Structure 1
Amino acid sequence: MDVIFAVKLYLNKMIEECGFGLKSLLMDRETTSIVSMVFTQSEMLAKEVYLFERLDRSDSIDTMKYLKCIVFVRPTKENISYLCRELKAPKFGQYFIYFSNIISKTDVKLLAECDEYEVVRDIQEFYCDFVAVCPHLMSLNILDGCYQNLHLKSESLERCVEGIISLLLSLQKYPTIRYQASSTACQRLAEGVKHVLNKEGSLFNFKSSSTISSRDNTTLPPVLLILDRRLDALTPLLNQWTYQAMLHELLTINNNRINLSDVPSVSRDMKEVVLSAEHDEFYEQNMYLNYGEIGANIKALMEEFQSKTKSQQKVETISDMKAFIEQYPQFKKMSGTVSKHVTLIGELSRLITMYNLFEVSEAEQELACQSNHSESLKKIRRLIANENVRYVDALRLVLLYALRYEKHSSNDVYSLIEALKKKAPGEDDPGKVSLKGVENIYTQHTPVIKDIIEELAKGRLKASHYPYLGTIQLTDKPSEIIVFMIGGTTYEESLAIYNLNKTLSGVKIILGSTSVHNFTSFLKEIRSDVTASTNSSSKNL
């Protein structure tokens, strides 16, 4: 089970089926992200794809009958409308149309009727209706109002169903479905997926979708487990210290890209950097390592280069590394992407120092893993008053405190909220940020999802808490697990899945979610949910 491999397989097949010759690629906003996450533009050029355009902007494209056109879009009403318009006045010689998910027969008939010039050579469903972030992680990039929309059975629920169905089809899996019993959203999503599985049964007739039970030689299907972000509100609140998670927390990774245009003194070619483990060896080897290890690894590479050039320049700190690259441009060329990571680590170092993040993170971990109320309260008050500590970090400390000591007799959330208001008068009222409904689980901090998957893999996950959808209940140990988390996952949880795939013998795990959060996006999700709930309550009065 590898989502990047699955998407690449489909995209390669699209291109191969068009045959030799110059090609263009028409996409929508979502499929543009899907493609860019797994292929670079140079790789596509090597496959004779020379033109990349958006279907919704096709009016501005010149007529080029000598080009074959690959259309890769989601099967939405809007895209069908754009395609009909395109086919009525075709700009390319031939069209090979691929939908990222199941398309209705009615829409296929409509496209056929619009193909007056008979330029369409093929229409197929190629199931990759999700963003493949890394081999074990996929996202739907749904960020706004996810919870409220799922409860209302609106577009977000439908999009989640479509994304999961596409994932199952791409991996050729027909799963047993389990869901978090305490979450209405999880139950509705599970029922939505089951409905499509039943409706489209012929598409899920996979001979290889089951595994053999070691106990009685019977076949076991994979397990699809649907969880709610509220199960673990702690993980998105904590600052992260592994490389990939730090980059997302402090700089924000958006479809494998980081915008550095606001970074002081950044070079022109570093205004936006691309991070992909598929195309960046250093990132692949270091994305799950901690902050100190990455700096040591870059330093080792520079020392290797110094030995070759017989340079005696001192390289001890991040600043030394940046100065070294500027003095030896041949190192930048020789080392490929390493200079990019020196820039990134340099910016991380600057932000960590500027915002006192070591001290902030220490306070966070004490809240998560220890139980000393008075000391934690003193430390939080001191950090809120510190001018170098950002409002957003002070807010996360208050949220952690509220979770940790919600029922403590000396709970003093009110005074902390008042201190936050004084720290940033222009910000939204921090008292309106609610984490109600979350399950407070405090031990030594590891993501809750890790424990759940370990219990599931051992066949011990309680059916009362995570029931099966339908009457089938399995007691054996699944060897293939697909987890989907409503409300967003984190790179810390992705790391947990990565490690479980290495340590759980004979078990393969995929993690999917509506989005990949950092604290800022998680806070936005919470505020959106609170606002929607408040508006809904007002209407019912």
Structure 2
Amino acid sequence: MNVINAIKYYVTKMTEESGPGMKVLLMDKQTTSIISLVFSQSEILMKEVYLFDRIDAAVRNEGLKHLKCIVFVRPTEENIRLLSDELRYPKYGVYYIYFSNIIPKTDIKLLAENDEQEVVREVHEFYADYLAINSHLFSFGISTCSKGLNWEKPYFERTVQGIIAVLLSLKKCPLIRFQNNSDMCKHLAEKIRYVLNQESNSFKFRQESQPILLILDRRDDPVTPLLNQWTYQAMVHELLTINNNRVDLSNVKGITKELKEVVLSAQHDEFYANNLYLNFGEIGQVIKSLMDEFQKKAKKHQKVESIADMKAFVETYPLFKKMSGTVAKHVTVVGELSTLVANYNLLEVSELEQELSCQSEHSTQLQKIKKLINDSRVRDIDATRLVMLYALHYAKQTSNDIAGLYSMLKKRNVPEKYTKLVYSILDYSGVSTKQINLFDREAVAKITKKLFKGLNGVDNIYTQHTPLLTEIIEDLIKGKLNSQSFPYLGNTVITRKPQDIIVFMIGGTTYEESLAIYNLNKQNPGTKIILGGTTVHNFDSFCEEIEATVVGTIARYKPRSVRDRSDFDHN
């Protein structure tokens, strides 16, 4: 199971089926993002696609009848209307139409009626209807999927379509398990089963074992998205934000024009692919090695003294130039991360975050939070997230000082959009109804501590926190995940070890959880796991999710205590 390979297969097939000759690729906004995540522009050009057009653009290309047009769009009502207009007055010679998901026969009929000039050669469904971020990670780019504890209808439909596309592209017809305390999980599970039944002919795959689709709710683990991250990919997203593999560095002081926006893609950047899971200290050492290697090659290129030297230079120059770009990009990114870590005192902040998420030392932690709130180097968002973690951890403790910390944030003039999160996070996670402390996890998980060293004194930071997702998947693999807390949809119960697991997180997943899935895949060679979410969060996007969710929240969400062993009983 590899979502990047699945998307690449479809795009390659599109470009090959239209035969040789010059082509234009006509897309919509979402399919543009889907393709750009897995293919560079130069790779698309090698497939004889010389022009890119947007069906929803205000200004379109002039008619070029000598070009074949490959249409790749989502089967939305708006796209059907735009495509009907396109076929009535075609700009290109012939059209090969590919929809990214299942399309109703009525829409096909409508397109046929508008194809008066008979320019359409083929119409297909190619199920590339999701953002493939890593080989085991996908997203739908939905920043806030709910209002209160209910789905926003357009985002519900988009999520259903996206998951169906993932299943079809991977050729999996799964059994469905879902988080029983979440109405949103149950609603999504039931709708997916309905579509599987309705489109049963499309899901007749030969399967060696029965795959599992596990649907989870972000609200059961509000801690993971609150933490600062220390692995390369996760850290870049937390501090700089990754948007469709692109990172905006335009605010970096003294940045060159070429580096104002950089692309971080494991598909097209070998250094990034090899190091995206390294922690901050390790990446510093690797960057130093990369610099040393580059400097050696640069000195070699300076010695052009003979015809043979010139020939060697010309032959190796493209690789040298590529390496030069890689070095410049990653040195800039890591340098900016290092600056932010130092300027915002993130080492001390993160250490306390880890303590709050994994240890119970109320008095000591309270004093440390007060100290950091008064530290001018600490950002407002970091002061806020510390108080949010404290509130989640100690809400049930009668001697807690949530109100006092909230007042300190107000006194510090932290904007209201952050201060209100202190109480919103309690509503979001339903902590007021929890009978047992969310953070008392020693009974169900070993706290792992990894010391990382090597860059600017990073020698005392512990990444103690383990996402709840890790424990759930480990129990699922062992056949020990409680069937009352995570029931099968229908009467089916499978006790044998699953080989293929697709996990979907309503309300967004994180790069920390992506790393957890990556490690679980390595530790369980007989099992393949992929992870998806409505979005991939950093702290800012998670705040938006909280704000949208707590609007009109009522007590229908029954939070599950991690410590409640009945949730993890052996079947």
TM-score, normalized by length of structure 1?
0.91
For 1:170, the equivalent position in structure 2 comes to: 169
For 1:475, the equivalent position in structure 2 comes to: 495
How far is 1:60 from its partner? 2.5
What is the distance in 1 between the residues matched to 2:217 and 2:324?
Answer: 43
How far is 1:424 from its partner? 2.5
In structure 2, what residue type is equivalent to 1:486? Answer: I
What is the distance in 2 between the residues matched to 1:84 and 1:188?
Answer: 34
For 2:389, the equivalent position in structure 1 comes to: 400
Contact 1:70–1:95 at 8 Å: present in 2 too? yes
1:205 and 1:380, CA in 2 relative to 1: closer, same or farther beyond 3 A? same
What is the distance in 1 between the residues matched to 2:161 and 2:149?
Answer: 13
Mark the runs of 5 or more structure 2 residues left unpaired by the alignment: 301-318, 442-446, 448-464, 557-571
Moved more, 72-81 or 431-440: 431-440
What is the distance in 2 between the residues matched to 1:442 and 1:70?
Answer: 55
How far is 1:370 from its partner? 1.4
In structure 2, what residue type is equivalent to 1:163? Answer: G
How far is 1:153 from its partner? 6.2
Count of equivalent residues:
507
Secondary structure of the structure 1 residue equivalent to 2:243: coil
Contact 1:282–1:338 at 8 Å: present in 2 too? no
How far is 1:337 from its partner? 1.0
What is the distance in 1 between the residues matched to 2:341 and 2:426?
Answer: 27
Secondary structure of the structure 2 residue equivalent to 1:383: helix
What is the distance in 1 between the residues matched to 2:87 and 2:59?
Answer: 12
In structure 1, what residue type is equivalent to 2:173? Answer: Y
Contact 1:33–1:255 at 8 Å: present in 2 too? yes
In structure 1, what residue type is equivalent to 2:495? Answer: T
For 1:21, the equivalent position in structure 2 comes to: 21
The Cα offsets for residues 400-445 of structure 1, whole Å up to 9 and x where unpaired, read as 0011111112100001111111222543342552333267244332
How far is 1:303 from its partner? 2.2
What is the distance in 2 between the residues matched to 1:295 and 1:174?
Answer: 43
Contact 1:210–1:222 at 8 Å: present in 2 too? no
What is the distance in 2 between the residues matched to 1:346 and 1:489?
Answer: 27
What is the distance in 2 between the residues matched to 1:308 and 1:49?
Answer: 35
What is the distance in 2 between the residues matched to 1:421 and 1:181?
Answer: 38
What is the distance in 1 between the residues matched to 2:381 and 2:398?
Answer: 27
What is the distance in 2 between the residues matched to 1:174 and 1:334?
Answer: 43
What is the distance in 2 between the residues matched to 1:310 and 1:9?
Answer: 41
For 2:73, the equivalent position in structure 1 comes to: 73
For 1:263, the equivalent position in structure 2 comes to: 252
Matched, 1:120 2:120: yes
Contact 1:143–1:525 at 8 Å: present in 2 too? yes
Moved more, 294-303 or 122-131: 294-303
The Cα offsets for residues 128-172 of structure 1, whole Å up to 9 and x where unpaired, read as 11000011000000002x132872561111111111100000000
What is the distance in 1 between the residues matched to 2:424 and 2:411?
Answer: 17
Selected match of 1:245 from 219, 234, 243? 234
Matched, 1:419 2:408: yes
Matched, 1:367 2:356: yes
What is the distance in 2 between the residues matched to 1:93 and 1:308?
Answer: 49
For 1:32, the equivalent position in structure 2 comes to: 32
How far is 1:529 from its partner? 1.4
The Cα offsets for residues 54-90 of structure 1, whole Å up to 9 and x where unpaired, read as 1012753101001111110100000000001111110
Matched, 1:518 2:538: yes
**Identity value in percent:** 58
Contact 2:87–2:115 at 8 Å: present in 1 too? yes
Secondary structure of the structure 2 residue equivalent to 1:19: coil
1:435-474 equivalences under 5 Å are 435-436=426-427, 437=430, 440-443=438-441, 444=447, 445-474=465-494
Matched, 1:159 2:161: no
1:98 and 1:54, CA in 2 relative to 1: closer, same or farther beyond 3 A? same
Matched, 1:352 2:351: no
In structure 2, what residue type is equivalent to 1:32? Answer: T
In structure 2, what residue type is equivalent to 1:529? Answer: T
1:110-509 equivalences under 5 Å are 110-144=110-144, 146-148=145-147, 151-152=150-151, 154-207=153-206, 209-211=207-209, 221-307=210-296, 334-428=323-417, 429-430=419-420, 431-436=422-427, 437=430, 440-443=438-441, 444=447, 445-509=465-529
The Cα offsets for residues 96-124 of structure 1, whole Å up to 9 and x where unpaired, read as 11000000000000000000111011110
In structure 1, what residue type is equivalent to 2:262? Answer: V
In structure 1, what residue type is equivalent to 2:538? Answer: N
The Cα offsets for residues 266-312 of structure 1, whole Å up to 9 and x where unpaired, read as 1110010001101100001110000111110111122234445669x
What is the distance in 1 between the residues matched to 2:16 and 2:102?
Answer: 21
For 1:322, the equivalent position in structure 2 comes to: none
Moved more, 57-66 or 39-48: 57-66
How far is 1:33 from its partner? 0.5
What is the distance in 1 between the residues matched to 2:279 and 2:92?
Answer: 50
What is the distance in 2 between the residues matched to 1:227 and 1:272?
Answer: 34
TM-score, normalized by length of structure 2?
0.86
Moved more, 281-290 or 436-445: 436-445
How far is 1:247 from its partner? 0.1
What is the distance in 2 between the residues matched to 1:442 and 1:341?
Answer: 39
What is the distance in 2 between the residues matched to 1:199 and 1:150?
Answer: 27
1:504 and 1:99, CA in 2 relative to 1: closer, same or farther beyond 3 A? same
Contact 1:150–1:156 at 8 Å: present in 2 too? no
Secondary structure of the structure 1 residue equivalent to 2:288: helix
Contact 2:358–2:439 at 8 Å: present in 1 too? no
1:425 and 1:132, CA in 2 relative to 1: closer, same or farther beyond 3 A? closer
Secondary structure of the structure 2 residue equivalent to 1:43: helix
What is the distance in 2 between the residues matched to 1:249 and 1:172?
Answer: 33
Contact 1:73–1:98 at 8 Å: present in 2 too? yes
Secondary structure of the structure 2 residue equivalent to 1:177: strand
What is the distance in 1 between the residues matched to 2:413 and 2:82?
Answer: 46
For 2:53, the equivalent position in structure 1 comes to: 53
What is the distance in 2 between the residues matched to 1:2 and 1:149?
Answer: 34
Contact 1:179–1:468 at 8 Å: present in 2 too? yes
How far is 1:532 from its partner? 4.8
What is the distance in 2 between the residues matched to 1:388 and 1:22?
Answer: 56
What is the distance in 2 between the residues matched to 1:226 and 1:433?
Answer: 24
Moved more, 152-161 or 294-303: 152-161
The Cα offsets for residues 463-510 of structure 1, whole Å up to 9 and x where unpaired, read as 011000001111111111000000000000000000111101300001
What is the distance in 2 between the residues matched to 1:286 and 1:274?
Answer: 15
What is the distance in 2 between the residues matched to 1:158 and 1:424?
Answer: 41
Contact 1:150–1:157 at 8 Å: present in 2 too? no
In structure 1, what residue type is equivalent to 2:223? Answer: L
The Cα offsets for residues 301-328 of structure 1, whole Å up to 9 and x where unpaired, read as 22234445669xxxxxxxxxxxxxxxxx
Contact 2:147–2:550 at 8 Å: present in 1 too? no
For 1:218, the equivalent position in structure 2 comes to: none
How far is 1:385 from its partner? 1.2
